[in-house]
Chains A and B, each alone.
Chain A
Amino acid sequence: GAGVSQSPSNKVTEKGKDVELRCDPISGHTALYWYRQSLGQGLEFLIYFQGNSAPDKSGLPSDRFSAERTGGSVSTLTIQRTQQEDSAVYLCASSRHGQGANGYTFGSGTRLTVV
């Protein structure tokens, strides 16, 4: 597609429920990143996929968070047993050949609210 697509754009869930957030990167971009942005804050790195390499999961805040990237394209970020502190905007980005030097292309994000 022309840009990075994320769905849903908004998600309200009850505490304790599981949620899945989807990211469809730009076609041909081999690198995919997930970040989290809390209100008025900067971006917090979560996880990074590059081609067929093992993902860099060093930013995941707890074992309730996991992500997959199927077929080197679409990625799903799953949060299990959601907590109120998980409320944030989850942003996905992609870049060509893992070379962030060319700049990331971000989606518009999924706003997650845990009530």
Chain B
Amino acid sequence: SQKIEQNSEALNIQEGKTATLTCNYTNYSPAYLQWYRQDPGRGPVFLLLIRENEKEKRKERLKVTFDTTLKQSLFHITASQPADSATYLCALAHNAGNMLTFGGGTRLMVKP
């Protein structure tokens, strides 16, 4: 069966360090992968998209990599800040016309 796995344990890091979150998937051939941020009591907010033919995408302090051989995406936040503390969700779709399937999310805590 298709699975999207994110580390369910919270990731605790010190302010200023780089946070790295992992998204692994099995039995899937996604056309693209997206990352979202979710704060308590709020809906997810879209951050970045990376397509299957792209290896890396950057946006300000964010960087996403996509390895279709390993079936893995890494999400990096450089120079992390306490305001980056939230749950981060990855989501996959077979193509632009399909709905997204989400992973369970990883909670990030950045300590001052």
Q: Are these two chains actual partners, yes or no?
A: yes
**Chain A 83-115 interface mask (CB, 8 Å, partner B; 1/0):** 000000001010000111111111111000000
The count of residues in chain B whose C-beta lies closer than 8 Å to any C-beta of chain A is 26
The count of residues in chain A whose C-beta lies closer than 8 Å to any C-beta of chain B is 25
- Given A42-B89, A91-B43, verify A100-B104 contact (CB < 8 Å): no
B41 at the interface (CB under 8 A from A): yes
**Chain A 49-93 interface mask (CB, 8 Å, partner B; 1/0):** 010000010010000000000000000000000000000000101
Interface centre among A43, A56, A108 (most CB of B within 10 A): A43
For the residues of A in contact with B, the DSSP-based class is mixed
CB distance from A61 to the nearest CB of B (A): 15
Q: A103–B34 contact, CB under 8 A?
A: yes
- Given A43-B89, A108-B41, A109-B43, verify A50-B49 contact (CB < 8 Å): no
B46 at the interface (CB under 8 A from A): yes
Please, how many angstroms separate the alpha-carbon atoms of A103 and B96 in the complex? 10
